[in-house]
Amino acid sequence: MAIIYLVRHGKTDFIGKKLCGNLPGIHLNEEGREQAQKAADYLSNFPIKAIYSSPIERAFETAEIIGYQSSLQVYPADYLREIHFGDLQGKGEKDLLDHPLWKKFNTLPADVCFPNGESVVEVRNRVAKGLEILSHEFGKEDQLVCVAHSEVLRLAVCWLLDLPLDNFHRLTIDPASISKIEITPERKKLWLLNYRPI
């Protein structure tokens, strides 16, 4: 059982411009590295025992900055990787705006399955299972960091709070923001959502 800090990766040059998904070669920009450092400074105030990250570069780079500050190794965790958007991956903002599947993703995401990619339900299930298993590997008071992506972290919070998947877009997870959850046999609890260290 454990306390887990969920951290979104810092900014890249493509946020709001292109649907990056699982595309390789998307790195933090200068602002993103600064944001990651602020998250690292904040998290260094806690006795972090382990750091896990999506293997995708922008998340792993964020995790490495946190790990360097806390003198901890970063472990890749596939359950934290971004949604595989399949045929939509790599499309620009203008192409997405009028795409019927993207419109559905933004209104009724629970029913969406991306061709040659994943469904929203599959992503929720994999991140939930991963966090559940991870929590069982540690003691009740242990504090961990998991670095991932906006949609994945919102789906994790939906699972934690038993929120309908069609409501997950109501949650905000900003770049390099920190959310804090607790998973124990008695309960799943949200302590903090979308905190942005100054």
Q: Please count the residues of the chain.
A: 198
Q: Is 82 a catalytic residue?
A: yes
State the Cα–Cα distance between residues 74 and 76, nearest whole angstrom: 7
Q: List b or e across 120-153, with b for residues whose CB sees 16 or more CB atoms inside 10 angstroms.
A: beebbebbbebbeebbeebeeebbbbbbbbbbbb
Which are the contacts of 11, defined by CB distance < 8 A and separation ≥ 6? 28, 29, 31, 32, 35, 175, 176
- The half-sphere exposure of 168 on its side-chain side, counting CA atoms within 13 A, is 26
Please tell me which residue in 61, 64, 82, 151 is annotated as part of the active site. Answer: 82
> Is the separation of the CB atoms in 159 and 123 below 8 Å?
no
> Is the separation of the CB atoms in 78 and 53 below 8 Å?
no
CA distances from 175 to 7, 148, 183 (A): 8, 10, 24
- The half-sphere exposure of 137 on its side-chain side, counting CA atoms within 13 A, is 11
Please tell me which residue in 9, 61, 118, 151 is annotated as part of the active site. Answer: 9
Q: Token pair 């400074």 is at which residue?
A: 41
Q: Is 9 a catalytic residue?
A: yes
Active site residues: 9, 82
